[in-house]
Amino acid sequence: MRRTVGRFGLNRLIALTDSRAKAEAIRTIFGAAFELDCIVPEQMKDTAPDENLLVDICLGDDELFVELRDWLKLRTRRRSLVFMTDAASPSDSIRSAELGATDIIQRPLDRKAIFTALLGDFDSLLLDTSAPPIRSYPAMGPAIDALENIFAAARFGGALELPAIHHANETILERIRSQGLESWLDIVRRHHSETYQHSLIVVGVTAAFCQRLGFSREEQGALTLGALFHDLGKVHVPVAILEKPSALDAEEMMEMRKHPRYGFESLRNAAGIASDILEMVLHHHELLDGSGYPDQLPSNRIADAVRIITVCDIFAALIGRRSYKPTMHTEAAFTEMRAMGCKLDADILREFSFAAKLRLAA
C-alpha cells in the first residue's frame, strides 16, 4: 500500500535523495516552509509521488533511472519537478531533462533559486514600477517593507521583524487619519502586483473603517495588524496562479483557497502573534451562512474581528485592479456586497456603507 505524505497545511514536498547529508541540507532549507518528506530511492515503491518533487540523486545508474522514470509516471498532479545536479556531471542534467524536469539547479544549494523553481519568483512581485515610485509616498515605504518581511518569513520560515511591523502599522493608521482613504487607494491600485495591491487595499480600508467605527487606538492597531497579516499564506501558492492574467480555473481556485490554511500553519508558532491575528488569517474567507472556507464555520463561531476583515477583504477584491476585467466602482462593489445577504454581518455592512461614497481615480 502506497503511503501519502504530509498533512493539510503547508505545501507538501517530497525530496528524493541518496545520502543523509543531502537530506539534512534540504531539511535545513525547507523544514519550516513545506510539509517535507525526505525519502531514498528504495522507498519510492512505497511512496506516492506528490505534485512537488525535488530530486537530488546521481542519475548515472541506468536501472535507477528507469525506476525513477516509472515512478514519476504515477503522479496524478504535476506542478514542480526540480533536479539538483553537479556542474561536473552534464549527463545528469541531460537525464533530468529527459525525466521532465521543470527546473534544473546546479549545486551548491541556492535557497532562493529552489523556492523560485518550486513556487515561482515571488520577489518579482515587489518591483516598484510606478512613476513616481509608490514607496515615495507617506507611509507606503514602511507598509511595503512590513508586507515584504511578513511574506518572506512565511515563505522561508524566517523571523518576523515585529517592532518594524508595529511601527508600519501605526504609520499607516496615522496616514489614513490625516490624509484619508481615497488617496491611499488611488496610490496602491497602481501597484503592478495584484497580490501586493490587494493586501495594501485591505490594510487601508480596514484602518479607515476602524477609525470610522470609533474604535480605540488599540483596537484600530489590532485590526489593521490583522489586515497586514491576513494573506501571508499566498506565498505558498504558485505565482503563476496568484498573478494569472485571466480567471482561475476550478483546480487553480482550489489551490488558491488553501491560502488561509497555509498562512495559519506558517504563523501559528511565531512568537508575539496574538490569537486574534491567527483567527483573521485562518478565517477571513468564512461566511455567516457556513458557505465560506476553509472550515465552513457557522456564524456563532466567527469572531467580530474576522467579520470586519471579511467585509474589508471582499470590498478590496471588488475594487482592485485585475488584468482580465474592468475595475469595479465603489458604489457597484458595495451593491454587490449587499446582494450577498446573510453571508455578511448586516450591522457591519450597514456601517461600511461609507465605502460606497468613495471617489477613486480611474
- Tens-digit pLDDT string for the chain (362 aa): 333 333 334 678 999 999 999 999 999 888 767 888 999 999 999 999 988 999 999 999 999 999 999 999 999 888 899 999 988 788 999 999 999 999 999 988 888 899 999 889 999 998 888 889 999 999 999 999 999 999 999 888 788 999 999 999 999 999 999 999 999 999 999 999 999 999 999 999 999 999 999 999 999 999 999 999 999 999 999 999 999 999 999 989 999 999 999 999 989 989 999 999 999 999 999 999 999 999 999 999 999 999 999 999 999 999 998 877 888 999 999 999 999 999 999 999 999 999 999 998 87
CATH topology for the 12-119 domain: Rossmann fold (3.40.50)
Distance, in Å, from the CA atom of 87 to the CA atom of 274, rounded to the nearest integer, reads 47
The type of residue at 33 is A
Distance, in Å, from the CA atom of 68 to the CA atom of 50, rounded to the nearest integer, reads 13
Q: Is-cis flag, bond preceding 132, omega within 30?
A: yes
Host H or E run for residue 188: helix 181-188
Q: Is-cis flag, bond preceding 108, omega within 30?
A: yes
Distance, in Å, from the CA atom of 94 to the CA atom of 82, rounded to the nearest integer, reads 13
What pLDDT does residue 227 have?
Answer: 98
If you count them, how many residues does the chain have?
Answer: 362
Distance, in Å, from the CA atom of 97 to the CA atom of 76, rounded to the nearest integer, reads 20
State the sign of the Cα–Cα–Cα–Cα dihedral 48, 261, 150, 125.
positive
What pLDDT does residue 61 have?
Answer: 92
What pLDDT does residue 28 have?
Answer: 87
Tell me the backbone φ, ψ of residue 119, rounded to 5 degrees: -125, -10
Report domain extents, the chain: 12-119, 122-357
Angle between helices 259-267 and 140-156 (to 10 degrees): 80
What pLDDT does residue 290 have?
Answer: 97
Report the DSSP beta bridge partners of residue 17.
56
Burial (Cβ within 10 Å: 0-12, 13-18, ≥19) of residue 214: exposed
Four-point Cα dihedral 268, 9, 112, 101, nearest 10: 170
Distance, in Å, from the CA atom of 136 to the CA atom of 113, rounded to the nearest integer, reads 30
Instruction: Quote the cell numbers at residue 182.
Output: 481615497
What pLDDT does residue 224 have?
Answer: 98
What CATH architecture does domain 122-357 belong to? Orthogonal Bundle (1.10)
